[in-house]
Chain A
Amino acid sequence: MSPRKPGLLAPLFALLLAAGAGALVYAQEARSEAERLALLQAAEGPQRLITPIKQGGWSFPRRFEAKGGAILSPQDTHVAALIFSTEATPPRLFDLDGDGAPDQALAARPAEGGGFLVGAAPLTPPPSLPWGLLCVALLFSLGMWAWLAFAYPGRWAGPLGAGFGALNLGLIFSFAASRALDVLPGARLSGALPLAAALIPLVLYGALGAYTRSLRSPHRAAFAYIAPAMIGMSVLILVPFAFGFGLAFFRFNGQTSEFVGLSHFAHILASSGYAITHPLSFYYTLFVTVMWTALNVALHVSIGLGIALILREPTLRFKGVYRVLLIVPWAVPNYITALIWRGMFNAEYGLINHGLSALGLEKIQWFSAPLTAFAANLITNTWLGFPFMMVVALGALQSIPRDLYEAADVDGADGWQKFKLITLPLLRPALLPAIILGSVWTFNMFNIIYLVSQGRPNNSTDILIVEAYRVAFEQERYGYAAAYSVLIFLLLLLYSRITERVSKAAEEAYG
């Protein structure tokens, strides 16, 4: 489907594209910076005080309020800076003079008593060349590099590919570094950032070296197929993860950071100064999380498997209809599910209490006792979770040969024996990965807890991930929250190490 010789045209084109986009971005940045400075000197427009407003819920980054004028679009890349530094430029789109049209905030300085004083001029439409274009160009170019280096063996492929790759990575990191210095409080993280900026290319350079050496190895094709996924994952998962991991060792409230070593971990593991049975203690939350995960997975698997076994009967009619209808909860976005069930569990107008009183039972204040609130979360999550296990079990059941059961019938086995001795062992290899994944997902199931019980009463139904979120976004102790998430990660890693042994054994037995 493609030429057999390394075509130079495609990589050259990619290089041109990348270079062009880079030049355009640089030119545009330089121009807009010059314009900004010029306007700043001439700024005599209205000035307004803007202050951060606190909001519960999903507000991240923090929203800002302009006294006397409405903020039309509170976000700009620079809002991110505000999370980290109070001295950064505030968002650009304000209606400062109140004429209904957005103005551009040009200059800001911290005002006494919090907030910023902003000077503004009417907004000139921002130049529309997006960084996205550059990103696409670079990714495309990287892709070409991988393609060239791996798809075509030959004398030129290795060095050329390595050259393009190095060039691209250099471009990406110089852009990233320039943006980082713009946005991060470089001075505050003194030294750490330049160090990281120097380390990342070094590490990548090393990896590249190892990579090019492996070009000669017989595994080249394998790496070529994996490379695209790996590149994406390393930028969008590895980098954020490294960032979060590093943050765990800093005290960081969004403005100032201070290296604190392991003290966050020590504090968390020392139960944060609470009794172990206190809802804010790590061990209490861990207990809730483990119960949450175990009960959910047990319910998902047993209901899913049960329904699958019932649906399996070959002469049963309307199987397809049942299957389709039972999949519905899976297709509903889970935050919608959560909000609907929260409404259903409402003590006053909730449907469930109406049902209870229709049956002559007493109404339950679902969210005022830990146990009932936990049950409400559990019911919601079971509703949305069993269809996945049902489908997995249905698929796995299909692959069990029928004659095994016929043979068992001949031997006079009863239903339970057949289930225990044929169905379960043969289901295991299919169910095990699903169970591992399912438990990891449930362990980190944020939406349901955060939206259904909302931790009521007194955070006693929070699981670890929700607790970490609250520490980060409600108390703004980002470093502490990062330490929390590192602990979550380590716990799950431990869990998977244990289950991996089981699955390895299974793979050896059945693979």
Chain B
Amino acid sequence: MKIPTRGPLPRHLGRHLFLISFTALTLFPVMWVIKMALRPSQTFVTSLNPLPDTFSLQNFKDVINAPYFWTQLGNSALISGVTTIVGVFLACTAAYAFSRFRFPGRRAGLAAFLVTQMFPGVMMMIPLYQVLDWLGLLDHWLGLVLVYSTTSIPFCVWMLKGYFDTIPHELEESALMDGASQIVIFWRIILPLSRPAIAVTALFSFMTAWNEFILAATFMSDERAFTLPVRLQHYVGNYTTEWGHFAAGALLVSVPVMGLFFALQKHLVGGLTAGSVKG
């Protein structure tokens, strides 16, 4: 590994060649899913050429015309949307406290958030099922919203706390002098300044909810309550797989998240780490 320095053009040429081939390698499986989705067949593509040879939209039509597709799309959108709002709000307030106040239990609280990432998620299924059953939220979108927003909080809190740490305290002190209350400072100063980090947090919350599959498959059994990933799993059977439908569905599921990633990618680099490096 070399530290880059400003070099002559041929050196960049090498870089480009490496990056192009690495990117091609990375994108190969994706290209190949696209190819499968565009073929009017359900078999696995075996040719090495990743470029599509046919342009049939039949698979997409089939997936979209499957029963309850729009309902399930709506479920996914609703659940992910609400999860994002709830998760980001909770993470912002908690991260603000961890960043700005010194109170007993601060370190323990932060550690507790990290520790929750260590519970084997799969094994939380049975008890979570019980809790949702008590709350009467099985087969209800609200149940998944609650589960997803709590599972995404710890990571979001860590990330946001790091970002809030980088915002100079002087801003708040002068606002306090001007008579602003703590809440005003939080809403009017901290939140607007942290837009990049909040955007990234929102992206993660959204992604957690939109992509999650095991819990959704466990808690939802009514076809009308499914999210898209659960629907997608039905194309992959134990013995046969409808590869064409699966590929088309996979693309439909991935496109919104990719869109968000592309839209937010500038913030992504700064938002994710700005906090942890105070150097």
- In the assembled complex, the Cα of A358 lies from the Cα of B243 at a distance in Å of 23
- Cross-chain contact of B211 among A334, A383, A464, A468 (Cβ < 8 A): A334
Interface flag for A205 (CB, 8 Å)? no
Question: Is B279 a contact of A426 with CB atoms below 8 Å?
Answer: yes
Q: What is the distance, in angstroms, from A159's C-beta to the closest C-beta of chain B?
A: 22
B134: chain A residues at CB < 8 Å are 175-176, 179-180, 183
Which residues 164-207 of A have a CB within 8 angstroms of B? 175-176, 179-180, 183-184
Contact with B along A215-249 (1 / 0, CB 8 A): 00001011111101110110111011101100100
Question: Is B136 a contact of A77 with CB atoms below 8 Å?
Answer: yes
Question: Is B120 a contact of A131 with CB atoms below 8 Å?
Answer: no
- In the assembled complex, the Cα of A484 lies from the Cα of B269 at a distance in Å of 38
Question: Is B122 a contact of A333 with CB atoms below 8 Å?
Answer: no
- Cross-chain contact of A226 among B97, B118, B272 (Cβ < 8 A): B97
Which residues 164-223 of B have a CB within 8 angstroms of A? 182-184, 186-187, 207, 210-211, 213-214, 217-218, 221-223
B274: chain A residues at CB < 8 Å are 395, 399
Which of A315, A325, A333 has the largest number of chain B CB atoms within 10 A? A333
- In the assembled complex, the Cα of A184 lies from the Cα of B238 at a distance in Å of 32
A446: chain B residues at CB < 8 Å are 120-122, 214
Q: What is the distance, in angstroms, from B125's C-beta to the closest C-beta of chain A?
A: 7
Question: Is B128 a contact of A236 with CB atoms below 8 Å?
Answer: yes
Which of A236, A330, A511 has the largest number of chain B CB atoms within 10 A? A236
Q: What is the distance, in angstroms, from B263's C-beta to the closest C-beta of chain A?
A: 10
Question: Is B101 a contact of A221 with CB atoms below 8 Å?
Answer: yes
Interface flag for A343 (CB, 8 Å)? yes
Question: Is B232 a contact of A429 with CB atoms below 8 Å?
Answer: no
Interface flag for B33 (CB, 8 Å)? yes
- In the assembled complex, the Cα of A192 lies from the Cα of B279 at a distance in Å of 53
Question: Is B279 a contact of A310 with CB atoms below 8 Å?
Answer: no
Contact with A along B70-87 (1 / 0, CB 8 A): 000000000000000000
Question: Is B218 a contact of A60 with CB atoms below 8 Å?
Answer: yes
B interface secondary structure, majority: helix
Interface flag for B4 (CB, 8 Å)? yes
Q: A323-B265, A469-B123 are in contact. Are A336 and B109 (CB under 8 A)?
A: no
A interface secondary structure, majority: helix
- In the assembled complex, the Cα of A296 lies from the Cα of B23 at a distance in Å of 20
Question: Is A472 a contact of B126 with CB atoms below 8 Å?
Answer: yes
The segment from B51-59, B61-69, B152-160 that touches chain A is B152-160
Interface flag for A132 (CB, 8 Å)? yes
Interface flag for A141 (CB, 8 Å)? no
Question: Is B268 a contact of A391 with CB atoms below 8 Å?
Answer: yes
Question: Is B214 a contact of A430 with CB atoms below 8 Å?
Answer: no
B109: chain A residues at CB < 8 Å are 226, 230
- In the assembled complex, the Cα of A303 lies from the Cα of B247 at a distance in Å of 28
Question: Is A333 a contact of B229 with CB atoms below 8 Å?
Answer: yes
A468: chain B residues at CB < 8 Å are 120, 122-123
Interface flag for A475 (CB, 8 Å)? no
Q: Closest 10 interchain pairs by CB?
A: A131-B136, A395-B273, A75-B221, A240-B127, A222-B101, A225-B97, A333-B211, A243-B127, A219-B103, A492-B118
Q: A58-B214, A243-B127, A434-B276 are in contact. List 12 more A-B contacts (CB 8 A).
A: A74-B221, A77-B136, A80-B129, A180-B134, A225-B96, A228-B90, A233-B116, A325-B27, A332-B257, A391-B273, A395-B273, A444-B121
Sampled A-B contacts (27; CB under 8 Å) = A1-B183, A1-B184, A58-B233, A130-B140, A131-B136, A132-B143, A135-B146, A184-B130, A223-B103, A225-B97, A226-B98, A229-B90, A229-B91, A244-B123, A325-B26, A328-B26, A328-B258, A330-B261, A333-B213, A400-B279, A405-B3, A419-B1, A433-B276, A446-B121, A485-B120, A488-B120, A510-B279
B residues neighboring A (CB under 8 Å):
1-6, 12, 15-16, 18-19, 22-23, 26-27, 29-30, 32-33, 43-48, 89-91, 93-94, 96-98, 100-101, 103-104, 106, 109, 111, 114-131, 133-140, 142-143, 146-147, 149-151, 153, 155, 157-158, 162, 182-184, 186-187, 207, 210-211, 213-214, 217-218, 221-223, 229, 232-233, 236, 238, 241, 243, 246, 250, 253-254, 257-258, 261-262, 265, 268-274, 276-279
